[in-house]
A and B are shown apart, each in its own frame.
Chain A
Amino acid sequence: MGTLNAKFGKKLAKYGTFDFSACYNCGNCTAVCSLTDQEESFPRNMVRYSVLGLEDEIKSSLKPWLCYYCGDCSAYCPQEAFPGELMMSLRRWLTSRYDWTRLAGLFYRSVIWNIIAFLLIAAGVITYAFHVNFSLEHVMHVGHLFEIVAIAAVFAIILMPNIVRMWWFTIAKSGEKIPVKAYLISLRELFLHMFTQKRTLDCEKHTFRWLEHLILVIGYLTLLFTTVFLDWFSARNKIVIVFGYIVSGLVFIVTFHFVFNRIIKSKEVSRFSHHSDWFFVIWLFFMGITAFVVRLYIDINIIEDNLWLYLVHLIILVQWAVIIVPFGKWTHFLYRSFAMYFKKVLTSANQ
């Protein structure tokens, strides 16, 4: 048993949750959830832990990541305790716990710090551009280099250690002996969920959302690949160029729809938006659209006179790579798939 912490609710409020203490433990949320099963019953269990403030129990649980937020539990909650939104907030809180730098927590809790960081980055990029006398060739070259370095650095310094921390909290800390074989045979699960998010399909009525999300993930990853490894902005190969247009187009079209849903709040899942949700979808949208327009300007040969456009793209890109990817909502891409992987590891170890 962990320590009770009555103030946990207050702490969690900054991560977006509502008054989940209204919960009267009827278990309706668990019973209406299409993803819950006898081994992993949630979300009431997480609501209970949150009411009691059992931080260690929550930290060692994979359950928040097993929820794919269809919103049924919130819609049918007799007490309007919004268990779905609590699960979302717990994912944000867990992200901040996994993060060894503690910056994720800072950015999740405060909009101001996000904005300060974004402004600093914008200032940095402009200063650099000024430093090289706004030479397009120079800026674009460094921009491309930055992409490669940032991916490697963010992954090695932040994301990898954080995943190790997640593994420590959820598996290793309990001291349970897990054979190496379990890790190996479960690997398939990791990549399956990372690239398909197929668990979303088990949520009722979520087929279209899954498809949209899948297109976004694939679009985003291929855009990354196209710009970084195929060097899209300098590419001369027609196929690469057209391919880049398609994937960047996909990214901004799908994210536009996501932003739109969040504005009109048509579904339970888009009813509540934390600032981290807004930053995530809007930046992704800007990334897609600026990349698209930059390449368009290159193709019609007016980029030389419109360096500002590339600068805007670069600023968005740096903010994305340095803030949102390591410390923001982007990480759910990794944590969700690793949670499925760890779950499989635990079940195969127990068999």
Chain B
Amino acid sequence: MGKVTYDAIVVGGGIAGCEAALNIANNDFNVLLIEKDLSVGGKMILLSKVFPTLDCSACITTPKISEMARHPNITIFTGSELQKVSKYGDNLFEVSIVKNPRYVNIEDCTGCQLCEQACPVTVPDQYQLDMVGRKAAYIPFSIANPRVAAIDIDNCTLCGACEKVCPTKCIDFTQEKEEWIIHVKTVILATGFNLFNPEMIPRYGFGLYKNVVTSMQMERQLAPTRPFHTVLRPGDGKVPDRIAYILCTGSRDASVGNTMCSQICCMYSIKQAQLLMGALPMADVTIYYIDIRAFGKGFNEFYEQALGMGVNFVKGKIGKISEKKNGDLVLRYEDVCSGKLQEAEHDMVVLSVGVVANQDAQKYFTDLTLKKDRHHFVQQVDPLLNPSKTSIEGVFVAGSVSGPMDIPDSILSAGAASVEAINHIIQFS
């Protein structure tokens, strides 16, 4: 077991967690960052481009991630889950962590991918949102960090093919779960958000109709590390001509229990629409909306740019979708501007799924009370003047764990949280 005392722990290795960890480490404090996934980078590293600048998401995420990963003051635990946080003495926290076995020695793996080629098992690739397959011995994705192999033990047949081909003999099936107890002075929660599960709206047929996808699936198809060379609809691999976006899928909708505006869907849909017009110049892209909320700096211009490019905006929420025999989809809606019921046919439907709270953070605190707001996000007890403060002194929030926000806001929030955390460390050292 390594060092068991750190100045700070950052829970979650998404862009907010990375930013917070970097800020604290740059001020000469030791940070432990734990990430439940196999790679840090969170959701941002999987995106195509970012609004409203259309910067390549991977290109701006990876330098920050690398800087963080190689920082001498930062220790990273990937594939690890936080179990419990409790008070230890007056000003310390005791954190218990379970580090899941990767069955690969991170230090020795060169990322040569020979194990991947040797592995006979193919399963859906979760990093490509199940649109293509991957092996049971695999590197999560090409820009993963650490970019080393892992064994998916649930799907592994223990055939040993990977062990045989591995040039550095880094595959180790004897690895076991490690339990760590760590003492820290401050905790930053950066566990992020979940995307709304569109299966909760059966009228949209997600999971039933093959050509209804989520915006995250479309995002992957547009990313530089995309699964295909072009945009394909999943049903039959056809390049779609008529693509529809359904905004507010699972946001601002009391009937699915989420009345909040997710703040990002309008803009990421507009962004994807613009990218689609580049990727498929002949395609028609229609965005069905309730209201376009382009409130940030440069957002409205970005919206107008999409209008100028010929993206079709239709005011009206889609009531239901039905599938035709050839896989095309019929969307039923009221064109609110004319007040008439309409039906429109599309090749592919993208559900612009909203942001819902990731409630993992509440589970860590059993002795202490981490208050949540009515939308189940972690409550900011002083949202205006001290937005990173929570109901527990010494525990701070960074990024979308406290509510929906876009990338710049997450970075700002992480900055605020790291300053508060540093203050807390200094005060109680």
- Given the known inter-chain contacts A26-B317, A31-B317, A32-B320, please indicate yes or no for A44 contacting B334, CB distance below 8 A: yes
CB-defined contacts of B342 to chain A, threshold 8 Å: 38
Query: How far, in Å, is A96 (CB) from chain B's closest CB?
Result: 26
CB-defined contacts of B316 to chain A, threshold 8 Å: 26-27, 31
Is A78 located at the chain interface by the 8 A CB criterion?
yes
Interface bracket on A? 20 to 34
B336:A78 contact, CB within 8 angstroms: no
Is A25 located at the chain interface by the 8 A CB criterion?
yes
Chain B contact surface mostly: strand
Residue on A nearest B331 in the bound complex, by CB: A31
Residue on B nearest A36 in the bound complex, by CB: B341
CB-defined contacts of B317 to chain A, threshold 8 Å: 26-28, 31, 78
Q: Hey, what's the 0/1 contact readout for A74-101 against B, CB within 8 Å counting as 1?
A: 0111111000000000000000000000
In B322-346, the 8 Å CB interface with A consists of 332-336, 339-342
Is B318 located at the chain interface by the 8 A CB criterion?
yes
Is A305 located at the chain interface by the 8 A CB criterion?
no
CB-defined contacts of B174 to chain A, threshold 8 Å: none
Residue on B nearest A30 in the bound complex, by CB: B334
A37:B254 contact, CB within 8 angstroms: no
- Given the known inter-chain contacts A31-B320, A32-B319, please indicate yes or no for A78 contacting B340, CB distance below 8 A: no
Which of A30, A44, A78 is close to B255, meaning CB atoms less than 8 Å apart?
A78
Is A155 located at the chain interface by the 8 A CB criterion?
no
B255:A37 contact, CB within 8 angstroms: no
A26:B336 contact, CB within 8 angstroms: yes
CB-defined contacts of B203 to chain A, threshold 8 Å: 32, 76
Residue on B nearest A41 in the bound complex, by CB: B341
B336:A31 contact, CB within 8 angstroms: no
CB-defined contacts of B318 to chain A, threshold 8 Å: 28, 31
Is B248 located at the chain interface by the 8 A CB criterion?
yes
Is A45 located at the chain interface by the 8 A CB criterion?
yes
Q: How far is the CA of A200 from the CA of B340 in the complex (A)?
A: 22
Query: How far, in Å, is B292 (CB) from chain A's closest CB?
Result: 13
- How many B residues, CB 8 Å from partner? 23
Which of A30, A31, A75, A78 is close to B252, meaning CB atoms less than 8 Å apart?
A78
Q: How far is the CA of A10 from the CA of B48 in the complex (A)?
A: 51
Is A24 located at the chain interface by the 8 A CB criterion?
yes
Q: Interface centre among A27, A28, A79, by most B CB within 10 Å?
A: A27
Is B412 located at the chain interface by the 8 A CB criterion?
no
Q: How far is the CA of A32 from the CA of B315 in the complex (A)?
A: 16
Which of A32, A44, A77, A79 is close to B336, meaning CB atoms less than 8 Å apart?
A44
Q: How far is the CA of A75 from the CA of B333 in the complex (A)?
A: 17
- Given the known inter-chain contacts A26-B290, A26-B316, please indicate yes or no for A31 contacting B334, CB distance below 8 A: yes
Is B253 located at the chain interface by the 8 A CB criterion?
yes
CB-defined contacts of B333 to chain A, threshold 8 Å: 27, 31
CB-defined contacts of A25 to chain B, threshold 8 Å: 290, 336
Q: How far is the CA of A76 from the CA of B334 in the complex (A)?
A: 14
Which of B315, B319, B335, B340 is close to A28, meaning CB atoms less than 8 Å apart?
B319
Query: How far, in Å, is A271 (CB) from chain B's closest CB?
Result: 14
In A33-80, the 8 Å CB interface with B consists of 33, 36-38, 41, 44-45, 75-80
- Given the known inter-chain contacts A30-B341, A38-B341, A38-B342, please indicate yes or no for A77 contacting B254, CB distance below 8 A: yes
B339:A78 contact, CB within 8 angstroms: no
CB-defined contacts of A29 to chain B, threshold 8 Å: 319
Which of B255, B315, B336 is close to A75, meaning CB atoms less than 8 Å apart?
B255
Q: Interface centre among A25, A37, A79, by most B CB within 10 Å?
A: A25
- Given the known inter-chain contacts A26-B290, A26-B317, A41-B334, please indicate yes or no for A31 contacting B341, CB distance below 8 A: yes
Which of B253, B291, B335 is close to A78, meaning CB atoms less than 8 Å apart?
B253
Query: How far, in Å, is B356 (CB) from chain A's closest CB?
Result: 15
CB-defined contacts of B253 to chain A, threshold 8 Å: 78
Residue on B nearest A25 in the bound complex, by CB: B336
A80:B340 contact, CB within 8 angstroms: no
CB-defined contacts of B341 to chain A, threshold 8 Å: 30-31, 36-38, 41
Q: Hey, what's the 0/1 contact readout for B290-328 against A, CB within 8 Å counting as 1?
A: 110000000000000000000000011111100000000
CB-defined contacts of B334 to chain A, threshold 8 Å: 27-28, 30-31, 36, 41, 44
A78:B320 contact, CB within 8 angstroms: no
Query: How far, in Å, is B259 (CB) from chain A's closest CB?
Result: 8
In B251-267, the 8 Å CB interface with A consists of 252-255
Q: How far is the CA of A30 from the CA of B335 in the complex (A)?
A: 10
Q: Hey, what's the 0/1 contact readout for A5-24 against B, CB within 8 Å counting as 1?
A: 00000000000000000001
Query: How far, in Å, is A77 (CB) from chain B's closest CB?
Result: 6
Q: How far is the CA of A31 from the CA of B252 in the complex (A)?
A: 17
In A80-124, the 8 Å CB interface with B consists of 80
Q: Hey, what's the 0/1 contact readout for B170-213 against A, CB within 8 Å counting as 1?
A: 00000000000000000000000000000000010000000000
In B207-260, the 8 Å CB interface with A consists of 248, 252-255
Query: How far, in Å, is B73 (CB) from chain A's closest CB?
Result: 47
Query: How far, in Å, is A29 (CB) from chain B's closest CB?
Result: 8
Q: Which residues in B have some Cβ–Cβ distance to A below 8 Å? A: 203, 248, 252-255, 290-291, 315-320, 332-336, 339-342
**Known A38-B341, A44-B339; 13 more pairs at CB < 8 Å:** A27-B319, A27-B333, A27-B334, A27-B335, A29-B319, A30-B341, A31-B341, A32-B332, A44-B336, A78-B252, A78-B255, A78-B317, A80-B255
7 smallest beta-carbon distances between A and B, as pairs: A31-B319, A27-B334, A26-B317, A30-B334, A78-B253, A32-B319, A28-B317
A to B CB contacts below 8 Å, 16 in the list: A25-B290, A26-B248, A26-B290, A26-B317, A27-B315, A27-B317, A28-B318, A28-B319, A32-B203, A44-B339, A76-B203, A78-B248, A78-B253, A78-B255, A78-B317, A80-B255
Q: Which residues in A have some Cβ–Cβ distance to B below 8 Å? A: 24-33, 36-38, 41, 44-45, 75-80
